[in-house]
Amino acid sequence: MKQLWSFLLLLGSIHASAQADIEQLSDEFSDEASLVQWKRFHDVEGFPDKIGLLAVKEGKLKLQPKASGWYADNQAPFLFKTLTGNFDVRARLKVSGKGTELPTIDWSLAGLMVRQPKRTDRNSWQPRQENWLFITTGVAEQTNLPVFEVKTTNNSLSNLKLRPAKAGWVELRIVRLEAAFVLMARYEGQRWQILERFYRPVMMGPLQVGLNAYSCWNAIPPSMKTDPKIFNERVVDTPADLQLEVDYIRFKRPRIDLTQVPGYQPAFGQVLFYTPANLLTDYAISNETILAMVGD
């Protein structure tokens, strides 16, 4: 086990040297020219554009999605950059309706997403190949009730949780430590709150990391939602109502020695999944301990 983790740490250092300064991927959205540095999911995989508005104005990114949703094999707008190795990404953002404090249409949310690149595109698309996780904010079934949504999707099987949120500006954050992903949020003047920890050992290669947005899932015809190929290849005329504003998104490397994770035993046989990343998602280790490790 000790030799295995020595190898993994060496591999991580190689990846880090290949992409030594991920801070340069950060974007303060002070210039619209920075948009060319972002990849659009639909362009990469050849699907129709479901973005209604994408612009940089007054130092903010503004994104309005058309009717769409990230669920199972179904897809929605996603802007990303590709990262290798561990990372700490955070974004200050606000989700609203196009002219209201909250979206007026159900299942309108946006936030941070981490996705494993697919080996297929529109022409070679196959089901059950979506692997991703995210933390978003907005509204779900009740449009007068702001929420956080945390969702993980493994081979296109999605599981989500909703938690109370507030309207207005919020900072979202995802820290990746090998196969552990820690999802957090905080409001101005408050401490980080961990909303979820996911252990995703399959998502170990270069990952797509960035901003997603989706709106009005319930208004999409049921026949389309049960056929993801049709859902993904068509743009629905149903009006959506979500505006995402992003003040900044910032990337950096987390500075944690994973061998110092409480409970880690280098001599624990040859059990592959008894790893620091696995332990980090075990709630025997408190959120307070994790927050102290990842810092502000």
Residue 287 lies in a domain: no
3-state secondary structure 5-39: HHHHHHHHHHHHHHCCCHHHHCECCCCHHHHHHCE
What's the domain range around 133? 20-260
- pLDDT tens, position by position, 283-296: 999 999 999 999 99
Look up residue 243 and give its two tokens.
């505006």
Number of H helices, E strands in the chain: 6, 14
Residue 3 lies in a domain: no
Residue 272 lies in a domain: no
Sign of torsion over alpha carbons 137, 143, 145, 150:
negative
d(C-alpha 214, C-alpha 43), whole Å? 17
Mean pLDDT, rounded, for 16-28: 79
Size of the chain in residues:
296
In this prediction, residue 274 carries a pLDDT of 67
- For 129, residues 6+ apart whose C-beta sits below 8 A from its C-beta are 73, 118, 119, 120, 155, 156
Judged against a pLDDT cut of 70, whether residue 1 lies above it is answered with no
Vertex 243 angle, CA 45 and 106, to 5°: 90
Per the structure, how many domains does the chain have?
1
Residue 286 lies in a domain: no
Judged against a pLDDT cut of 80, whether residue 238 lies above it is answered with yes
Residue 278 lies in a domain: no
* Cα distance from N-terminal residue to C-terminal residue, the chain: 31
d(C-alpha 57, C-alpha 116), whole Å? 30
d(C-alpha 55, C-alpha 29), whole Å? 10
Residue 56 lies in a domain: yes
Residue 235 lies in a domain: yes
- pLDDT tens, position by position, 244-257: 999 999 999 999 88
> What CATH code is carried by the domain that includes residue 103?
2.60.120.200
d(C-alpha 23, C-alpha 253), whole Å? 8
Judged against a pLDDT cut of 70, whether residue 17 lies above it is answered with no
In this prediction, residue 6 carries a pLDDT of 47
Q: Are 264 and 258 in contact (CB under 8 A)?
A: yes
pLDDT band at 18 (very low <50, low <70, confident <90, very high): very low
pLDDT band at 260 (very low <50, low <70, confident <90, very high): confident
Residue 44 lies in a domain: yes
d(C-alpha 228, C-alpha 208), whole Å? 21
